[in-house]
Amino acid sequence: MEKLIKLAKENIKNSYSPYSKFPVSAVLELKNGIIYKGVNIENAAYGLANCAERSALFSAYSDGIRKSDIKRILIYTDHDYFVSPCGSCRQVMRELMEDDAEVILVNNRDETKVIRNIELLPLGFSKKDL
């Protein structure tokens, strides 16, 4: 996990967050050890922004990765408290990651909180609901 935290801390500098001034970094680890990174990317038209978690997942999926390949995602913010994924990210994570995939929250004190994906959105909307 130390390697993931180090990568997330290095990656946070790539955040484009001039409006919120709230950079977020996500590191997605596959079961085979391959890493995908994401950061939040804001836009003056706020609805066009993308969170770090979704950036990492969309990058992985663009390369052909699927939920069965994903081991965990680590989410880092440079604050002394934990920041959990927003509602949109929780929904995307619920669909694009397995229910038991680890979600690791890390603050700037290197404290961690590990939860399972399903715990973030226990009654998530899925293709079964369509």
| Residues annotated catalytic, as ranges | 53
Q: What is the CA radius of gyration of the chain?
A: 14
Task: From 48, 41, 44, 45, select the one nearest 12 (Cα to Cα).
Answer: 41
With 0-12 CB in 10 A as exposed, 13-18 as middle and 19+ as buried, what is 13?
exposed
Question: Residue 80 gets which letter from DSSP?
Answer: S
